Chains A and B, each alone.
Chain A
Amino acid sequence: MSLLLASLGFGLVTAAVLAIASVGFTMQFAVTDVLNLAYGAVMILGAYVAYAINQHGVSIWIGVCVAAMFGALISVLLNRGVYTPFQRRGTAPIAIVIVSLGVTLILQFGLQAYVGGNTVSYQLDQVPTLSLGGLRLTSVQLVIIGLSVVTMLAVHALLRFSRLGKAMRATAADRSLARTCGIRTDRVVTITWLISGALCGVGGAVFAMDAGSFGATSTDLFLVLILAAVFLGGPGQAYGAMLGALVIGVGTEVSAAYLTPAYKDVVAFAVLLIMLAVRPTGLLGSRT
């Protein structure tokens, strides 16, 4: 029982990190139709920016904010400089996925060339503050969960209640129709990259906190978890990504407790492949 509770605690933290990252990824895909595999690379860049700030004695939470801004900036630049030009030219979606893989190599190994191959860690105060049976969460983990819940509520409010959210949903449904209806889709797309990029930056920083130590290629595997969460909920579905993150996050950690930890990510992989085979539109997606 305590094993279950302990793994549940880990699972909730992983799910919290995953939710922030997955919602950003799925929003990007929904509104811009780019399966941006460089997302993981931007995440780790954000994590390193927070690290650089943290190294100067500044609180890591300020680092998270800077990582958000940095992620937003890089994402907008990527869209403006790379993805939109390719899309304007009529490049096939699959070729853009290949482009995003190229961008991944450039960003990730560019970072590695700069910071080297060693792993680093943030300066954090790790004190257990919540202990409930076997469930033990540190203050940092609690803040991560809280941050994730607040982010999800904010995304919900944005999509449901704001004009911008409405414009984003319209653009996601049909870009040319949205433009015909007077929505400035270019601006909506840019703002989407801005918001999802900020989520990506935050996701990177909290991922690094949760992981403890990290290196330039640490998000490679985490990207697989993001993809699993996104496809489980249905690609492009923000609420689906939240649900997917919860299932994958808790699922991998609980299975790690009962199976061998080395294979915990394989659970996510199995879920992803089953979803692709059985229901490619995801749990919350429409049937085709």
Chain B
Amino acid sequence: MGNGLVFYLTTMLVYAGVDILACLGLSQQYGVAGVTNFGFIIFQAAGAYTASVLSLPHDTANGGFQTYLGGWSLPFPLPWLGAAVIGAVLAVPFTFLVGRRLRGDFAAIGLLITAVMANLLVNNYRPLFNGSAGLSLVPAPLQDRFDPQSAGFQWAYAVTAIGLALVVYLFLRRVTESPYGRSLRAMRDNDLVADSIGKNVVSLRLSMLVLGGAIAGLSGGILVGFINLWAPSGWTYAETIVLFAAVIIGGAGNHLGAVLGALLVPLAFEEVTRFIPAFGPPGLIPALQWVAIGVLIVGFLWFRPQGVLPERRRIAARFAAAPRKPDGAAVAQASATTKDTDDWSLPGARLPISPVGNRTGRTRPVQRRPAEPARVILRAEELTRTFDGVPVVSGVSFELHAGRLTGLIGPNGAGKSTTLAMLAGTLAPTTGSVVFHDREITTLPAYKRARVGLLRTFQLASEFKRLTVLENLLSAVPRQPGDSFHGAVLGRRYWLASEERAIDRAEVLLDQFGLTRYANQYAGDLSGGQRRLVEIMRALMAEPAALLLDEPVAGVHPHLAHEIGEQLLRLCAAGMTIMMVEHELAIMDEFCDPVIVMAEGKVLAEGTMDALRGRSDVVEAYLVG
């Protein structure tokens, strides 16, 4: 093999390794966790600069023709390690951009602007990294011992780059296929809901920025050790768009797709155009390349948004053999059949959950109005919320008692959902406080409330669309060993047992709700009523002490709605405290006691439905109107 060919091949392999690393990092952030990092290239650049100044001698060497920070002449592999570490550390200041308050697209814009500005700064400020000229003569790893121009060195470098890409691929797969990875994907699908079932989305996003930053930094370190120079023109914000194009074309959320995208777009695309005979004025071909990247992005997002290799559905073997109705009939209808009804009327002993409230040792009978006064679990005190100065909820106070199914009704705009959101921590009250288990939790964020056993569901469909029904259920299981970065890295053997137990519980619930045959379907593909059931089941998987349901039976078949009511009563009997916002008065009549009536942001009355019907103000505010 000629030296030229060796050099060409090894160069392509190193580029492939570097591009694969970068695309994997981006795919993990964007495809798996839904963190749109338009500033990704900064992290690669940071890694490259770090590796450069760690391996370069002091800037007075080489005649002092370039100026830079540091210059420590550190031996391999310290420059590469430093590159990864600095890439990771650099991510930390961006935490504020990925918080709960900021829309994902605004955060993305913030990162894009940061990339533009970082490039501008480094370009203009020469003492940092030699300004626009960039750093050159960056030493290759171990160049004091081997000749970097030798074929052996070139091959070793290529193999190392590809090998590291493989290691990172396996590592990311391990992380993504764990309960922790499931939480990341849940956050990607709906961060508000992930928050409400106890996921700390700020921490999850920060972890992904740090992990992706480390990978990007490493890729920069590998690249600069090979090409021996690094300048601002090589990491403009547009390079991030190329990586996004690669991940979108390959298949966001599928790490193999990221690998394919890396090979197709940054590598093959640049290489193929190299063989096109030059035409037109200089600069024409690069310009047309950019146009083509733009066309690829728009075209793929339109014609094949899932990419060449779409994210694959995680199929649980246990449910794979479950018979599936060929027509995929709605479960609301299916549950109306005698068989399902029989399942439902099984005694509460089949309950797959053990509510936290059980710890009191008291179980409440399924009956209205227990004789003794029940313990107060959740208390709203003078809750007020204004939007733009307009009061929506003003001075709402009530108590939820252990083992009771409390109803909350009122006309549209009465402030029911707002009240529920304040109780669950989705929305901060303007004034007033929330007390849970005698503990003031007014300022506790939603995910922490979920972790202490106060859970909510949403009025609008809030399933994790690209998680299967089973995954939706499992996502809410609290304190899973595999649901942390640490646990995910430890691997399957560390968390499989608890995962199996969680699946056991999910299996019972799925059976009760008649959704077993849909366990492996994407939740987003179910009917509206089925999705409500998934949401209720998911909440139950969390074993909450108190559950706040926002119109749980809206759009559900009346028969099934009745069964859900029965089920909720059984849960209350087992000690759970439930509050339900609902417009369906038949459900209120049958199951809820007491019922709280809200109108125009205030509590109008509280009592049994029978008593409420006797009150003219309630009838006027709601029952008639």
Contacts and interface: CB of A to CB of B under 8 A. Distances in A.
Interface of A: 35, 37, 82, 85-86, 91, 93-95, 97-99, 101-106, 108-110, 112-113, 116-117, 220-221, 224, 227-228, 231, 235, 260, 262-263, 265-266, 269, 272-273, 276-277, 280, 286, 288
Contact of B283 (A37, A116, A265, A286): A116
11 contacts: A86-B301, A98-B248, A99-B297, A101-B297, A102-B296, A102-B301, A105-B297, A112-B283, A117-B282, A221-B116, A269-B117
A102 B105 contact: no
Given A97-B105, A117-B283, A280-B102, A266 B301 contact: no
Given A113-B291, A116-B283, 16 more contacts: A85-B302, A97-B36, A101-B297, A102-B293, A106-B295, A110-B287, A110-B291, A116-B281, A227-B113, A263-B121, A265-B120, A269-B117, A276-B97, A276-B110, A286-B387, A288-B101
Given A101-B241, A280-B106, A266 B121 contact: yes
Contact of B106 (A108, A220, A276, A288): A276
Interface of B: 36, 96-97, 101-110, 112-114, 116-117, 120-121, 124, 238, 241, 244-245, 248, 280-284, 287-291, 293-298, 301-302, 305, 387-388
- SS class, residues of chain A in contact with chain B: helix
Given A97-B105, A265-B120, A106 B294 contact: yes
B100 to A, nearest CB: 10
Contacts of B280: 113
Contacts of B96: 276-277
Contact of A95 (B101, B113, B301, B387): B301
Given A266-B117, A280-B103, A280-B106, A109 B298 contact: no
A95 B297 contact: no
Contact of B120 (A91, A113, A221, A272): A221
Given A266-B120, A273-B113, A86 B302 contact: yes
Contacts of B305: 91, 95
A227 B112 CA distance: 11
Q: Among the interface residues A91, A109, A112, which one has the most CB atoms of the partner chain B within 10 A? A: A109
Contacts of A98: 36, 244, 248, 297, 301
A93 B108 CA distance: 11
Contacts of B124: 260, 262-263
B194 to A, nearest CB: 16
Q: What's the dominant secondary structure at chain B's contact region?
A: helix
Contacts of B245: 102
A273 B96 CA distance: 9
B110 A273 contact: yes
Contacts of A228: 113
B117 A265 contact: yes
A35 B109 contact: yes
A102 B117 contact: no
Given A95-B301, A97-B108, A235-B106, A112 B287 contact: yes
A224 B101 CA distance: 22
A88 to B, nearest CB: 12
Contacts of B297: 98-99, 101-102, 105
B288 A109 contact: yes
Contacts of B301: 86, 91, 95, 98-99, 102
A237 B241 CA distance: 28
B109 A227 contact: yes
A280 B106 CA distance: 8
A110 B101 CA distance: 37
A109 B105 contact: no
A101 B283 CA distance: 21
A226 to B, nearest CB: 11
Given A269-B113, A272-B110, A277-B97, A105 B293 contact: yes
Contacts of A91: 301, 305
B291 A109 contact: yes
A95 B36 CA distance: 9
Contacts of B294: 101-106, 109
Given A105-B294, A109-B290, A269 B114 contact: yes
A113 B287 contact: yes
Contacts of B287: 109-110, 112-113, 117
A220 B116 CA distance: 9
A106 B290 CA distance: 7
Contacts of A266: 117, 120-121
Contacts of A286: 387-388
Contacts of A260: 124
B555 to A, nearest CB: 18
Nearest to B95: A277
A105 to B, nearest CB: 3
Contacts of A86: 301-302
Given A99-B298, A113-B284, A105 B121 contact: no
| 9 closest A-B pairs by CB | A105-B294, A102-B297, A109-B290, A106-B294, A262-B124, A269-B117, A113-B287, A102-B298, A277-B96
B466 to A, nearest CB: 12
A25 B246 CA distance: 29
Interface centre among B281, B287, B291, B295 (most CB of A within 10 A): B287
Contacts of A273: 97, 110, 113-114
A134 B411 CA distance: 65
A103 B294 CA distance: 6
Contact of B298 (A37, A103, A110, A277): A103
